[in-house]
Amino acid sequence: EVQLVQSGAEVKKPGESLKISCQASGNTFTTYWVGWVRQMPGKGLEWMGTIYPRDSDTRYSPSFQGQVTISADTSINTAYLQWSSLKASDTAIYYCARRRGINSPFDLWGQGTMVTVSS
């Protein structure tokens, strides 16, 4: 059974960089898309972007283009979400999730990573 296991909670200061991870169990990592979803405190879900690890084809929501970078390392079945300079408004829970195909829903979710950005 495939699982997505995310890295632990982070507390950072504004301006710092951060890279969080999402590791998939099993050997099918290169056969599906991995997306990232933001949930700000007490708010709804926002799709940030998606990567196809096999060829690193990456799609971003216009709202997040240029704000974050999505990447993947197929040798360790891991997808990443990174920031070069965090802002307080980046405080949120970030979920990774699997899509089986380009026109598929998110059918498997990680447990979420809480990122807190505060001076």
Partner 1 sequence: EIGLTQSPGTLSLSPGGRATLSCRASQSVSYYYLAWYQQKPGQAPRLLIYGASRRATGIPDRFSGSGSGTDFTLTISRLEPEDFAVYYCQQYGSSPFTFGPGTKVDIK
Binding test (CB under 8 A) with partner 1, winner from 3, 63, 84, 89: 63
Provide the strand spans (E) within 1-119.
4-6, 10-12, 18-24, 33-39, 45-52, 57-60, 69-73, 78-83, 92-99, 106-109, 113-117
> How many residues contact partner 1, by CB under 8 A?
24
Binding test (CB under 8 A) with partner 1, winner from 46, 67, 73, 116: 46
Binding test (CB under 8 A) with partner 1, winner from 1, 75, 105, 119: 105
Nearest approach, Cβ of residue 73 and partner 1 (Å): 22
If binding is defined by CB under 8 A, does position 42 make contact with partner 1? Answer: no
User: Two tokens at 50?
Assistant: 């998606």
CA pair distance 93, 38, nearest whole angstrom: 6
Length, in residues, of the chain: 119
Binding site for partner 1 (CB under 8 A): 35, 37, 44-47, 50, 59, 61-63, 95, 97, 99, 103-112
